[in-house]
């Protein structure tokens, strides 16, 4: 099973996946992107590898935090490379949230992603849309470096996975479909979820957070 969601920023793609995967947290590996804030303003992003639960969508910046790949406009793709290489070695179901950004220019990352997409491990994730990539490229001064690799990855995902475009009209349908496909995997469930894994309000559709949003 390979399913990737794409759509406008803030529509609820990550929230759908987190909500659907929460009961199976012991089996979920991979990585998610966490926003880093300072005084309520997004200043960077980091890749957080998963072990028995999900981090909050946002966290206050601390120089000791690992996995930072964007900070105040500077980028370090090695953090994303480390995240996917670690994910590749894990069993269970992989969450890749998200792909299709600055890592497109990394041979290490793309080779590992190719092996994952060609393998047997089920995976779900978020694929950055062309519009979101264009905005990120402009902000990070990437030019057209990611455009070609993004088209190639989109074509590959279309061929080897289900690529679902999330809209305001199909949120419930998508949520139900992801839940159904996960049930078919017969993954072990956890007995009870800690409160932080149940709160999806800070990420995606309908969130009431007080953070100034910014895309990668």
Q: Are strands 2-6 and 123-127 parallel, antiparallel or unpaired?
A: parallel
Quick one: pLDDT at residue 203? 44
Quick one: pLDDT at residue 138? 81
Mean pLDDT of 138-164: 90
- Kindly tell me if the per-residue pLDDT of 20 is higher than 90: yes
Summarize pLDDT for 59-78 with one digit per residue, the tens: 999 999 999 999 998 989 99
pTM of the model: 0.85
SS3 for 44?
Answer: strand
Residues facing 35 on adjacent strands: 45, 58
The CATH code that applies to domain 2-186 is: 3.40.50.300
% the chain with pLDDT above 90:
69
Summarize pLDDT for 163-192 with one digit per residue, the tens: 999 999 999 999 999 999 999 998 888 765
Rounded-to-10 torsion of CA 32, 124, 202, 137 = 60
- Kindly tell me if the per-residue pLDDT of 102 is higher than 50: yes
The residues spanned by each domain of the chain are: 2-186
Quick one: pLDDT at residue 143? 76
- Kindly tell me if the per-residue pLDDT of 3 is higher than 90: yes
């Amino acid at each position: 099973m390979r399913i990737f969601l794409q759509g406008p920023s803030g529509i609820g793609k990550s929230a759908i996946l987190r909500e659907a995967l929460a009961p199976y947290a012991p089996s979920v590996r991979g990585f998610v992107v966490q926003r880093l804030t300072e005084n309520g303003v997004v200043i960077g992003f980091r890749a957080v590898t998963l072990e028995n639960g999900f981090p909050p969508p946002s966290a206050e910046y601390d120089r000791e935090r690992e996995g930072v790949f964007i900070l105040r406009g500077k980028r370090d793709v090695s953090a994303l490379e480390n995240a996917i290489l670690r994910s590749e070695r894990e069993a269970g179901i992989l969450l890749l949230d998200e792909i299709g950004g600055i890592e497109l220019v990394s041979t290490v990352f793309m080779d590992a992603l190719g092996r994952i997409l060609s393998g047997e491990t089920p995976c779900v994730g978020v694929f950055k849309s062309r519009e979101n990539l264009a905005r990120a490229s402009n902000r990070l001064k990437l030019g057209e470096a990611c455009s070609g690799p993004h088209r190639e990855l989109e074509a590959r995902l279309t061929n080897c996975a289900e690529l679902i475009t999330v809209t305001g009209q199909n949120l419930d349908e998508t949520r139900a479909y992801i839940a159904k496909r996960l049930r078919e995997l017969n993954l072990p469930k956890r007995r009870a979820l800690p409160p932080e894994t149940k709160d999806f309000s800070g990420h995606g559709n309908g969130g009431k957070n007080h953070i100034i949003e910014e895309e990668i």
